[in-house]
Chains A and B, each alone.
Chain A
Amino acid sequence: MKELHKLLDRIVQRVNINLRELEFDVNPLVNTLIPAGQMTKFYAFYGITPHHALNLVFKHSNLSGSYFLGKVRVTNSLLYKSDIRGDELKKNGDLFQYQDFNIPVDQDEEISIEDSFLIKTLVHNYSHDPETLETFFIKDTVSTHYANIHGSPSDGSFLGPFATVDLTTIRDCVIGAYSYVQAGEVSHLSIDPGTVWVRKPGDFNFMYRYPLGQLSNYVYFAAGSPPQGVFMDFLEDRKEAFERVFNVVNIETPESVPASASLDRFAVIKPKTKIGENVLVAQRAFLQNSVLGKGANAQENCYIINAKLEGNNVTAHGAKIIEADLGKNVFVGFNSFLRGRPGARITIGQECVIMPHTIVDVRKPLTIPPGHLVWGLVRSPQDLEANSMPLKDFAKIDTRVCRGAMLFEGSGGSFVSGFQERIHHILEANGAFFDGKLKRGHAQRNQNISFNTIQPYPEGDKAGLYPTIIIQP
């Protein structure tokens, strides 16, 4: 296990060098976060389908409990229970549109993870950086529990638990716990915990900050212990259910799943769950006593419990929906936490957009009218009034608006249409519009995946390290 410790030291040092300007030390945060024994305990696995590239290269790394799909290279890294999902990478011959440029992609894009430590992190989508079309790099980076690195190359950065970087290249940045950043390109920035920042330079700028004292109830992270709070408690309570799906080789599929839907064998499906046509359920999703209508999806680390989704619903990576009824075309963004209770359900009208990293946590019934944008912390009708706006009104903003802890500046029209276009793209990519012949997406292509497992050295100096492995067709 000596090599594993050396590798962690190497990664920590490299990240700290990058973050020296911010005077940020990752060592006390991560040095005991995952006991070394855990890192030798779990197998890694990868998917094989006729629809996806198969080009995996692993060198001098630990891959414990992690999943790989597509074209991925991992070097000198520790990946703990992370999902590296390369099913939306750019292909040789694609044209990447950026501003007025149409840039040709001249080789298949690769996710390249080097000198990094990713804990329960989801890596997905493709690099949106026009400067690095063929390589989606994650380098000298530490990311912690349930972080999302979504289309966001990262160099020399730290992501706190439940943080998301989305379509943004980050260099030498600290992204605080439960912060969401979608800003194109940022460097040398320290983002406080609970910041939701969506910026398109020259067009619009949205910022919400969770009240400092209230966020820590949901997520709190400090040196010396794992993340704590409501989010972690919620996940820990359901952890056992996943042990079975990872331990059993041939897991049974519920008979009621339509042929056009995809239910990942590493998802947990509890009784009384109904899956509609064109539904996509990704690995590590958790469904219980819920209805997913036609074209709905549940992405990685989503939990949908005692809920009804009418159809064409996007439940983005890490979102949780409990005791709720969602109309058609409702979007629930990354890591949002919507928690109703028995007798106090949350009702969300059709076409609503629940911004990434939104918390709706109520003890009395709450109704969000159709066509609303919702952000931030909502625990009462008064909070909802302060933290929501009809999309049609938001689209009329052309200077700046401040509502409580939310500040928006620029074109509300661009902001709203940007969201709506993206939601449409996600539904399309996930196969929600499949008509039996055309418009296939992940729900149709991800069926019948074969999974193979790989394992590390069991003992000795190299215990926990995987040998160099190259997997190609």
Chain B
Amino acid sequence: MKNYRVKDLMVPISEYATVPEDATLFEAVQALERAQEQFNQNRYSHRAVLILDKQKKVVGKLSQMDFLAALEPRDANLEQIRNFKQFGFTRKAVALQQEEYLKSSPPILDFYSEAASKKVTEYMQRPTEGEYVDENASLDMALHQLTAGANLSLLVTRGAEIVGILRLSDVFAAVYHSMKESELQKTLGETQ
């Protein structure tokens, strides 16, 4: 397998969707949309937005999953229902109870409107220790970090600075192509 380094596969931070920490959830999604529109002009598809503080330091990440979770209606009764799994109910049963409860709730569009004006910092994930990887780390190291933490991406560092994002999809593509190349070489060797 080719000796990839993390920096060979990362998306530079300058090309990633970012918003300041005082942005709303809606502004974050707009930033994601704009970045996505530029996808046709470059090789990156965007699935998350980075949140930067005033010193342009990354303080969090909002993924598509975080965004969708933010749109889920929230109140104390719903929180209780979502905890039903710990009482041995299946996901289907929990969804059924949630649907029943929401029948008597305000229309879902009202929830969307309310969530859109909330601060992005309420819903973002703050990176944990295992989500940073050095730009010169090997692909093996990055792969281990991604699988051990079940992460969809890692923040790439150069010293104290964050310089890019390493995404699971890019690592997958690199690993897959290396494997394919290696298998092809093997087949060619056997036929010669």
Contact = CB atoms under 8 A, between A and B. Distances in A.
Contacts of B89: 205, 207, 407, 409
A201 interface: yes
B100 A207 contact: no
A400 B86 contact: no
A40 B88 CA distance: 45
Interface string B77-108: 10010001011111011001101110000000
A205 B87 contact: yes
A192 B96 contact: no
B88 A205 contact: yes
Contacts of B88: 183, 199, 201, 205
A365 to B, nearest CB: 27
Nearest to A408: B93
A230 interface: no
A334 interface: no
Contacts of A192: 80
B76 A207 contact: no
Contacts of B76: 212
Contacts of A409: 89-90, 93
Interface string B130-170: 00000000000000000000000000000000000000000
Contact of A402 (B77, B80, B87, B97): B97
Interface in B46-85: 76-77, 80, 84
Interface in A389-406: 400, 402-405
A224 interface: no
A405 B97 CA distance: 8
Interface in B97-137: 97, 99-101
B90 A402 contact: no
A183 B86 CA distance: 12
A197 interface: yes
A199 B87 contact: yes
B89 to A, nearest CB: 6
A245 B4 CA distance: 87
A400 B80 contact: no
B73 to A, nearest CB: 16
Nearest to A407: B97
Interface residues of A, number: 18
Given A192-B80, A212-B76, A212-B77, A207 B96 contact: no
Nearest to A401: B96
A196 B80 CA distance: 13
Name, among A199, A207, A212, the residue most crowded by chain B CB atoms within 10 Å (CB to CB). A207
Contacts of B92: 400
A418 interface: no
A403 B97 CA distance: 8
Given A409-B89, A409-B93, A404 B100 contact: yes
A400 B84 CA distance: 14
A59 interface: no
Interface in A181-214: 183, 189, 192, 197, 199, 201, 205, 207, 209, 211-212
B100 A400 contact: no
A400 B87 contact: no
Interface in A402-443: 402-405, 407, 409
Contacts of A211: 77
A213 to B, nearest CB: 10
A400 B96 CA distance: 9
Nearest to A404: B100
A402 B86 contact: no
Contacts of A207: 84, 87, 89
Nearest to B79: A192
B100 A402 contact: yes
A407 B96 CA distance: 8
A189 B86 contact: yes
Nearest to A212: B76
Nearest to B104: A404
Interface of B: 76-77, 80, 84, 86-90, 92-93, 96-97, 99-101
Given A201-B88, A407-B89, 19 more contacts: A183-B87, A197-B87, A199-B88, A205-B87, A205-B89, A207-B84, A207-B89, A209-B80, A212-B77, A400-B92, A400-B96, A402-B96, A402-B97, A402-B99, A403-B100, A404-B100, A405-B101, A407-B97, A409-B90
18 contacts: A183-B87, A205-B87, A205-B89, A205-B93, A207-B87, A209-B77, A209-B80, A211-B77, A212-B77, A400-B92, A402-B96, A402-B97, A407-B89, A407-B93, A407-B96, A407-B97, A409-B89, A409-B90
Interface of A: 183, 189, 192, 197, 199, 201, 205, 207, 209, 211-212, 400, 402-405, 407, 409
